Structure 1
Amino acid sequence: MKHSKSNQSITDPILALRDCKSAFVGVFIASALVNILYLTGSFFMLEVYDRVLPSRSIPTLVALCLLALLLYAFQGAFEMVRGRMFVRIAGALDEALSGRIYRAVVQAPLKLRTQGDGLQALRDFDQIRSFLSGSGPAAFLDLPWLPLYIVICFMFHYWIGTVAVIGSIILITLTFFTNRGTQAPSKRAAEAGNQRNAFAQSSQRNAEVMQAMGMLGRMSQLWDLRNTTYREQNRETSDVGNGYGVLSKVSRMALQSAVLATGAVLVIEGSASPGIIIAGSILTARALAPVELAIGNWRGFVSALQSRQRLKELLTALPERDAPLELPVPKEKLSAESLAGGPPGGQRLTFAEVNFSVKAGSALGVIGPSASGKSSLARALIGIWPSYRGSVRLDGAALDQWDSDRLGRHIGYLPQDVELFSGTVAQNIARFAADASAEAVVSAARAARVHDLILKLPNGYETEMGEGGTALSAGQRQRVALARALYGDPFLVVLDEPNSNLDAEGEQALTEAIMGVRARGGIVIVVAHRPSALAATDMVLMMSEGRMQAFGPRDEVLAQILRKQNRPPQIAGAASLKVVGEGQESAS
């Protein structure tokens, strides 16, 4: 099934299956034929007891056996077709929504308040897909045929039909209580599992710290608490589901025996033939088998429903829109107008009332004490954190007027915590673009002054980074990430603590890279802690307690700050920068 553009606007995963209407029609037809053919066993036994045994006719038995074998073959074929169609329906769902689910997983931490490891949406999607491709849907499709079997039981005899109805009521009641009993525990188990996985991932990321500072024992105790909670919730869900499953199984077996006993009484009284005893028992067992199977699959069904609801809420909160009109390449200025923002989810504002404008060819240094909102501002300037008031504009156009992928071509970003992707150095620099040219990759590396460093790696640009870029040192990762930020000559380059892991040579390369962006008419925003990062800037914005305290030419702003601190007005050179940067730490 080809990906439909209309699937981008779907918020309910089940609606993504609307292109599978013909497949569902085929499934219903196959289910009808399977359930009709399930009557083969009952009628075969009826004919054997009522026709073959009294007549002692071997040819009749052979003919019945051949006919039954043929019908069983058709039944098996239709069941196989139905199972394969469910697998392909699940595959169609995956093809239709997997891309959007992935984008939602990536965007959720940037726009919503998320909990756990952030991968719950993927697990939910897998749960729905697994349920669709399992035995659960077949059991639920067989349930509507229960009345047909009961009607045939009544055709055998009134009392056999009555016993079948009583058994159906018992099993349907058990199904109702299974649903009520498993919903809450299943939801709690999913939440506990999410927290457990998040803790495990956090521990893995901080393995070095835990090992070095002897935290492994205590963290193991915390893990045991979370794992115990998950185990207990999972056990409660399993106990409830298994309990009702056993009850349904025992009830069906008892009912089958009751039908045999009823048939025996009827035969003794001369109200029914001996074949009805066996045929009625088989037919009743078949009539109630889907109910028992549905109870056995009920936990998966409830989990799939809860997964669907969570995905529906996520996709509703993160709607995808059609790409807006493609705007011209920005080349004039960046401006922030009464800008206020903070973390996703509307938790709190970390900065407010920020107003400034930077023209092409300028580099703006953002300085301030710890938790002053510097990094939050940097994230808002490139649209990865929400702006709750005001706007950010490139050449007069607000960021929401751009398609995110197209906007990304004009933006370079170096975060505080650098993490590269598994792949080659060249792929990481090129942002994994399929049409990246060698010239563009090398040009970005040269702009970041990292070309010679890359050539010294074991395989040069084809060196595998490893997951998270672990094959490189922290300083090397930061310089490769700088090259990635400069790939494609973006108009706006935002660098958040770009020299935190750099040596003197790396800092000189950083300064030259910033000057290179300015020389080609780009704009650089540098969130600075170490004052050497401001060497190539011509503008400075001072933040404090989430407010813009000063903005203007670098030397003027630094002189103003020095006067407020009652320090000598030494503005020129690195010495003045050192005084201003003294005591500053990384942003919130």
Structure 2
Amino acid sequence: MGDLLSRCRPPLIWATGFSLLINVLMLTSSLYMMQVYDRVLPSGSLPTLLFLSLITAGALALLGALDFVRTRLLGTLGDWLERRLAPPILERMVEGTLLGRREGTALLKDIGTLHSVLGNGATFLFDVPWVPVYLALIYALHPVLGHLAVTSAALLFILALINDRITRACLRNATAASNRAIATAEAALRNAEVVDAMHLLPGLARRWGRDHSHALDAQDRAHRRGAVLLNITKFVRQLVQVALLGAGAWLVVRHEMGAGSMMASSLVVGRALSPVEQAIGGWRQVSAGREAWRRLSAAFRRPRRRVPGLPLPEPAGQLAVRNVAFRIGDGGSGGGSGGAAPGRTVLHNISFDARPGEALAVIGPSAAGKSTLARLLVGLHPPLAGVVRLDGADLFQWRRDDVGRHIGYLPQDVELFAGSVAENIARMGEPDPQAVVEAATLADCHAMILRLPQGYDTQVGDGGAFLSGGQRQRVALARALYGAPKLVVLDEPNASLDAEGEQALNRAITALKERGACVIVIGHRPGTLAQVDRILALRDGRVESFGPRAEVLEALKRRTMHPVAAQSALPKGAGDRPGPPAAPAPKLHSVEPE
């Protein structure tokens, strides 16, 4: 934020300079009135009146032009600030979600609030510093008028401070309650099918209504308090102008000042008190902008999950996992495996290797830690202990813009984005037609996509709502394969696939191996094991078996000392396929720690 502030300084300096000229030109009407009353009327000189009128018209035209330029400058600054803030804030929102914070889109709305303040609500802030100058001019006309104007300005400033104090907490509570209500509505929309199927809407509506009602109540309290003070301010300002005219008339009668000075003092005091009145009327918006800036600054002050490093060369796909442990709630995790409670360790001392051109299956019962391990293998979270390395480099610390295009990830819960099929396959970037078709062909969904109404240009809807579960799964698989990634992690890739889809998945795994990719397949079903070379069996977050596919399956099948454990770790039907002759004892492989 400090860098952005420094880059905002030049346009703010220009706006301050324009404010200087604007406030000087604001005296035009007062000076014109003084000259008309004190020079033109006593002398009856029409040429002087014409000359003064032309000069005044030109000055007012320049005033209007400068005010327009200042407003446009601040609006452009707001546009620039929003464009510069949005990408890093979106990045921090994604990080916050991975860390378990549910901020929704509140920070993006804060950027819009800042834009609105700069574009519409901040101009009076540039005029407030000129209030003492106007008061000094009134003193120059006569000290009595100056005393009266200063007293009035002090009273209005006190009212402005009271307005800030009594509305700040209300506005902060309103924002917090509004954000909670929006988060509830967004969650209901994301899970519309569940909401409708099990009739969750009444409960969600009550929760939304409660938060929304709290927000409205807080906003209403702030509005009522601000409205009372605003009306008091208007009354004080009008009373001051009447008092100034009365005092000025008294001084004119006593021959202590001229009639022109009397009229000019009324105009000048109106200009002096106008920014204060605007401050009270616009303080709600300014206060909202201040709170938005505070939240955005806090977001930028949070420590980054990854320390930016030097760009590294393209990886070959050599994966090494060494002594990895992971606890839900540690290491920047916002979620876990199998509904594990925060604070529970779900992975213990996991070590294994996976080579380019090889497919490795990770199997085990539910809550064994398979999906958590998959997240670590793509660098979503740092381990509590140990390290995950890709080509010797710590995968979590690898720059995302470097390594992201070399990783293919199919999560257990498939999520597509609003856009075309081609855009989703191209990872929401500019689609490369050849690469998109190649990825779809590799995922064996090219023909399926061509049967859609607009083919690759078909809009999938928010979350892929316009596609079936199997279609979403296969498009997401094509997205994972886009760009020939070197490391591909597939978490339950056949969860929504039929028999034809499973065959296509196996062909894709074979093709990936032939291309030299390192493939990790997480799954329960035996169809996922057909093309793998080795198997890692997990139980309770620990390595139970690791080695060639046939040996591990045979070893798990032949465990007679713990038959229940063996049966639960073995995917149903996986052990029915023929394998090599059984060894006298289970031959299990492990990787020595580095």
Q: Deviations over 1:538-562 (max 9, x none)?
A: 3333334444444333344444544
Q: 1:369 aligns with which of 352, 365, 379?
A: 365
Distance 1:109 1:323, change over 3 A: same
1:317 and 2:302 correspond: yes
Residue equivalent to 2:585: none
The answer on whether the counterparts of 2:423 and 2:431 sit within 8 Å (CA) in structure 1 is no
Find the aligned partners of 2:158 and 2:199 in 1 and give their Cα distance: 55
Equivalent position of 1:474 in the other structure: 469
Distance apart, 1:324 and its partner CA = 1.1
Name 1:266's counterpart in structure 2.
251
In the TM superposition, residue 192 of structure 1 has moved relative to its aligned partner by 1.0
- CA shift in 2, pair 1:217/1:517, >3 Å: same
Matches within 5 A, 1:143-542: 143-317=128-302, 319=304, 324-342=310-328, 344=332, 348=343, 349-434=345-430, 436-438=432-434, 440-542=435-537
CA deviation string 1:345-400 (max 9, x = no partner): 67534434322222233322223333332212211111122323221101211114
Residue 411 of structure 1 deviates from its aligned partner by 0.8
Q: Structure 2 vs 1, CA of residues 345 and 376 (structure 1 numbering), >3 Å: closer, same or farther?
A: closer
Amino acid at match of 1:90: G
Q: Which amino acid aligns with 1:268?
A: V
1:51 aligns with 2:39: yes
Tell me the residue number matched to 2:338: none
Per the alignment, residue 85 of structure 1 pairs with 73
1:546–1:176 CA distance, 2 compared to 1 (3 A): farther
Q: State whether residues 424 and 464 of structure 1, in contact with CA within 8 Å, keep that contact through their aligned partners in structure 2.
A: yes
Residue in structure 2 matched with residue 34 of structure 1 by the alignment: 22
Q: Deviations over 1:224-280 (max 9, x none)?
A: 112111111222232333333222222212222221222122223332222233211
Shift of 1:437: 4.3
Q: Measure how far apart 1:513 and its partner are.
A: 1.7
Task: Rate the CA distance shift 1:22–1:312 in 2: closer, same or farther, 3 A.
Answer: closer
1:148 Cα deviation (Å)?
1.0
Match of 1:128 in 2: 114
What does residue 109 of structure 1 align with? 97
SS in 1 for 2:349: strand
Q: Deviations over 1:106-144 (max 9, x none)?
A: 33312x332242x1221111111221111x322111111
Q: 1:20: how far off?
A: 4.4
Indicate if the aligned counterparts of 1:116 and 1:197 stay in contact, CA closer than 8 A: no
Change (3 A) 1:375 1:297: same
Partner secondary structure for residue 483 of structure 2: coil
CA distance in 2, matches of 1:253, 1:191: 37
1-structure distance, mates of 2:236, 2:86: 42
Q: Matches of 1:167 and 1:577 in 2, distance apart?
A: 90
Distance change >3 Å, CA 260–CA 369, structure 1 → 2:
farther
CA contact (8 A) 1:478 1:501 kept: yes
Structure 2: tracts of 5 or more residues without a match: 335-341, 578-594
Q: CA deviation at 1:165?
A: 0.7
What is the DSSP-based 3-state SS (H/G/I as helix, E as strand, rest coil) of the residue aligned with 2:122? helix
> The residue matched to 1:490 in structure 2 has which SS?
coil
The residue aligned with 1:565 is: 563
Whether the aligned pair in 1 keeps the contact of 2:324 and 2:347 (CA below 8 Å) is no
The 10-residue stretch of structure 1 (227-236 or 510-519) with the greater mean CA deviation from structure 2:
510-519
Alpha-carbon RMSD across the aligned residues, in angstroms, is 2.7
Rounded to whole Å, the distance in 1 between the matches of 2:319 and 2:58 is 78
Evaluate the alpha carbon distance shift between residue 568 and residue 23 of structure 1 in structure 2; reply closer, same or farther with a 3 A threshold: closer
| Aligned match of 2:580 | none
Kept in 2: contact 1:337–1:355 (CA 8 A): yes
Q: Which moved more, 1:152-161 or 1:447-456?
A: 447-456
Distance in 2 between residues matched to 1:422 and 1:556, nearest whole Å: 45
Superposition misfits of 4+ residues, deviation over 6 angstroms: 567-574
Segment drifting more, 381-390 vs 564-573 = 564-573
Cα distance in 2 for residues equivalent to 1:255 and 1:345: 61
Contact 2:506 2:531 in 1 (8 A): yes
What secondary structure, in the 3-state scheme, does the structure 1 residue paired with 2:365 have? coil
Write the letter of the residue equivalent to 1:500: A
For 2:156 and 2:321, how far apart are their aligned partners in 1? 67
Percent identity over paired residues: 39
Q: Secondary structure at the match of 2:159?
A: helix
Between the aligned partners of 2:522 and 2:567, the Cα distance in structure 1 is 23
- Give the residue type in structure 2 aligned to 1:337: N
Code of the residue aligned with 2:302 in structure 1: it is A
Measured after TM superposition, the shift of residue 335 of structure 1 is 2.4
Q: Secondary structure at the match of 1:270?
A: coil
Q: Is the 8 A contact 2:71 2:119 kept in 1?
A: yes
Q: How has the CA–CA distance of structure 1 residues 216 and 402 changed in structure 2, closer, same or farther, with 3 Å as cutoff?
A: closer
Change beyond 3 A, Cα 1:234–1:557: farther
